[in-house]
Structure 1
Amino acid sequence: MNKAHTMLKKRVKKQINKAILVGFLSFSVFACKEDPLPKPNGMLALNYPAANYESFDQSDCPYLFQKNDLGEVQFEKDCSVVISYPDLNGALYLTYRPVQNNIKQLLTDAQKLTYEHVIKADNIVEEKYVNDAKDVYGMFYDVSGNAASQSQFYVTDSTSHFLTGSIYFNAKPNYDSIYPAAAYLKDDIKHLMESLQWK
């Protein structure tokens, strides 16, 4: 009886040792992986075609400009314009106002429109624009963060014409997701502003 008991003990010990060895080997195989690292922040990578600018002139309106040929232009009776970008789900809105002894009020309104975005914006960078040869003077605003409009401008000759421009997207503002499209349209709105001429 003692001999059988000893053999049983040896067999159980052998099985325990096998189980420990299998467990150790399994652990060492799975434990050899590298430490997990957090994924780096990424930006949505969207590629848009290189801009091809063309002159645009509505005969009834006192200004002309160059626009990206991806934009679809719709003029209003008051010479305000909507340039839609269906592929980017956004648009540039241009609002024209004649200067009639109200330049101070027009400037105040344009600046107020931009700074209404301060609540949601992370930063607003102002860039003066002066073109003496074309008699065009103004300000470009680059707005970062979850604001409703990421780029805006106003230009004037200070005596007869005043034009404001803004980018808006047909989506809830989320700077990370609209950034590629906002950057693309920022270049367009800057080009439009810099190519603008009064008639």
Structure 2
Amino acid sequence: MSKKYYIPFIFIAISVCIVSCKDDVLPKPKSYLSLNYPEPSYAQFDANCGYSFNYNTIGNVITEGDCNFKIEYPKLKATVYLNYKPVKNNIDLLLRDAQKLTYEHVIKADGISEQPYVNKFKNSYGMFYEVGGNAASQSQFYLTDSTKHFLVGSVYFYAKPNFDSVLPAAEYVKNDLRVLMESLKWK
């Protein structure tokens, strides 16, 4: 090999070695956090509005006025909204509105499961809805005594709906909603 070709060959060989020594950049796979939540501890909340209920103490109950409340879960970035309406010969309208609220999510939902709730001893009747998929609210319910009281509850997260990422928190809050429904007492 002549001297004329020897210098560029060394330069190219050294350049290739330097460039090839870098670590390859690979994209990271999508993943979600592994979240662990505390064991629920429940306390009674007396609304002084015709009903009382038990709530998980990691949540904060905030008065919204007119016997409406919200339970904020700062660690879960979620809020449960409780909307109360008195029954005044309008039970059909209240039931229709509660069902309409749930079925507005049908566009984004993979499915909606209805679970009737009946507690004759507490004179409490209603429906619990589980909304699957990327809907804004994964759990909703309504309860009534059919004559005086009507309560609607729904859960919303402070994040773009992504069912896989909110699933652990949604399950945790769903269990709290069931406790709230089962503990609710009309006055």
Q: Shared fold (TM-score greater than 0.5)? A: yes
- Give runs of aligned pairs for residues 6-21 of structure 1, distance below 5 A: none
Please say which of residues 50-59 and 163-172 is displaced more in the overlay: 50-59
State TM-score, norm by structure 2.
0.82
- The question of whether the paired residues in 2 share the 8 Å contact of 1:155 and 1:164 is answered with yes
Partner of residue 138, structure 1: 126
Aligned length: 159
Partner of residue 50 from structure 1, selected from 36, 39, 42: 39
Whole-angstrom distance in 2 between the partners of 1:87 and 1:134: 32
Specify the SS of the correspondent of 1:76: strand
Q: Tell me the CA shift for residue 58 of structure 1.
A: 2.4
Matched with 2:22 is none
Are residues 1:147 and 2:140 paired?
no
Structure 1 vs Structure 2 CA RMSD: 1.4
SS at match of 2:58: coil
Distance 2:166 2:109 in 1: 14
Where in structure 1 do 4 or more consecutive aligned residues deviate above 2 Å?
41-45
**1:112 counterpart (89, 94, 100):** 100
The aligned residue for residue 15 of structure 2 is none
Q: Gaps (5+ residues) in structure 2?
A: 1-28
Please give the TM-score of this superposition, normalised by the length of structure 1: 0.77
CA contact (8 A) 1:137 1:155 kept: yes
Unaligned runs of 5+ in 1: 1-38
Structure with the larger helix share: 1
Q: Say whether residues 1:158 and 2:158 are aligned partners.
A: no
Indicate the percent of aligned positions where both proteins have the same amino acid. 61
1:171 aligns with 2:159: yes
Q: Is the 8 A contact 1:138 1:153 kept in 2?
A: yes
- Superposition deviation, residue 75 in structure 1: 1.4
Separation in 1, partners of 2:92, 2:32: 41
